[in-house]
Amino acid sequence: MYEKNGEKYFIVDGHMHWWDASPENWKNKYGEGWIRCFYGYHSALSPEEYVWPFEKYCAYTEEDLMKDVFEDGYVDIAVFLPTYLYDFYHKGFNPTERDAILKEKYPDKFVLNTAWDPRDGEAGLEVLEEKVNRWNIKGCKLYTAEWRGDSKGWDLRDPWSVRYLEKCRDLGVNIIHVHKGPTIWPLNKDAFQVNDIDEVATAFPELTFIVEHCNLPRLEDLCWIAVQESNVWGGLAVVLPFIHLRPRQFAQWLGELLFWVGPDKLTFASDYALWHPKWLVEQFVDFQMPEDMVSEYGELTPDIKRKILGLNLAGLYDLQVPAEVMKQASVTA
């Protein structure tokens, strides 16, 4: 929990990882390219004192994670979003099984999600069910741009995707985190198009689709569908870190998201170890809409921040929020 000026915030980190991108795990040049790209994001947007050496970034330890996220980073509960990438990494990048090690060791600290890929067909459906039952999973992460052999990605409307979504619905896996791009099939179309989310969100009203990174670099496409589909949300990973070096730009992005998507459908996320939650939480709680933008976007109140930082995801994942936080929320809401 985080407290500032008497305001209390329950923190749910909606998107984090425990990856292994050590050189021994690189299967090919793509494994190295992937983590170097992540490292570019990390170094370009983090405050200087939070930038790690590349070697540590490739493979941080359990101790690093527990200290950064929970001891220093104010996070109450963190949501693991696995990313497989078996074509790039021998043992995968951040598979469910690896995250499960920490989930089993610290059951109250983590929400464990899994992932699926429609290209796994019938066999993958069984694996999904096994994992869901084994760890009592409520959500999953989909990465539509994942390479697999000659295939450079997939679409949520594919017949097999629909089979998996039906399976999720039947199993009670109602929270679908989707990361679009940047190389989705077909390669000649915009790599970040969200038409497929639009269609499946209509077809599956029981499911909530959290569009990770708010579909950056296509914020406007997310906003467009989130206005029409009440079950399409935006995850703020990658959007938030702009708060440090580009506060005005962050203010504009957030202002647009609040206007179109709304304060009840936006979720905090560090994308750890892309960024450290400590400075994100501190800066976000301190953040005010610049004076000249208030007339366009409105004030950023503690209540809006409370929702984004934790209450929205707590509601979705049915997490228990401390009474002292709820009290403030209900008094001022």
Partner 1 sequence: MIQEDRVRRALSAVRDPELDEPITDLGFVREFQIEGDSVSVTLHLPTYLCAPNFAFIMAADAKEAVGALEGVGRVQVTLVDHQLSEEINEGLAHGKDFDEIFPSDTEGTGLVELRARFDSKAFIARQQGLYRALIEAGATPDLLSRLTVGQLPDGPDTARYLDRRARLGIDTSEAAPFLVNADGTPIPEEELDRHMLFARMVSVTIEGNASFCRGLLATRYGLEPTAEVRT
Which residues, in sequence order, are CB contacts of 165 under 8 Å at separation 6+?
A: 156, 176, 200, 203, 204, 207
Minimal distance, residue 229 CB to partner 1, in Å? 16
At CA 45, angle to CA 44 and CA 50, rounded to 5? 100
State which residue, 123 or 187, has the beta carbon closest to partner 1.
187
State which residue, 33 or 322, has the beta carbon closest to partner 1.
33
Q: Which amino acid is at 256?
A: E
Minimal distance, residue 58 CB to partner 1, in Å? 15
Q: Do 207 and 176 touch, CB atoms closer than 8 A?
A: yes
Question: Residue 148 interacts with partner 1 (CB under 8 A)?
Answer: no
In the shown chain, the binding pattern of residues 73 to 112 toward partner 1, with x for contact by CB under 8 A and - for none, equals ----------------------------------------
Question: Residue 36 interacts with partner 1 (CB under 8 A)?
Answer: yes
Rounded-to-integer distance, Cα 324 and Cα 10, Å: 10
Minimal distance, residue 241 CB to partner 1, in Å? 10
Question: Residue 266 interacts with partner 1 (CB under 8 A)?
Answer: no
In the shown chain, the binding pattern of residues 226 to 265 toward partner 1, with x for contact by CB under 8 A and - for none, equals ----------------x--xx--x--xx--x--xx-----
Rounded-to-integer distance, Cα 44 and Cα 123, Å: 41
Q: Which of 213, 218, 278, 307 binds partner 1 (CB under 8 A)?
A: 218
Question: Residue 182 interacts with partner 1 (CB under 8 A)?
Answer: yes
Minimal distance, residue 106 CB to partner 1, in Å? 32
Minimal distance, residue 215 CB to partner 1, in Å? 10
Query: Which of 250, 264, 262 lies closest to 216 in space, CA to CA?
Result: 250
Rounded-to-integer distance, Cα 320 and Cα 203, Å: 30
Q: Do 266 and 222 touch, CB atoms closer than 8 A?
A: no
Q: Which of 1, 30, 207, 244 binds partner 1 (CB under 8 A)?
A: 30
Q: Do 198 and 227 touch, CB atoms closer than 8 A?
A: no
Minimal distance, residue 90 CB to partner 1, in Å? 19
Query: Phi/psi class of residue 215: alpha, beta or left (left: φ > 0; alpha: ψ in -120 to 50)?
Result: left
3-state helix, strand, coil in the chain (%, to 5): 50, 15, 35
Q: Do 267 and 308 touch, CB atoms closer than 8 A?
A: yes
State which residue, 206 or 220, has the beta carbon closest to partner 1.
220
Q: Do 177 and 15 touch, CB atoms closer than 8 A?
A: yes
State which residue, 185 or 317, has the beta carbon closest to partner 1.
185
Q: Which residues bind partner 1 (CB under 8 A)?
A: 30, 33-34, 36-37, 40-41, 43-45, 150-152, 181-183, 185-192, 216-220, 223-224, 242, 245-246, 249, 252-253, 256, 259-260
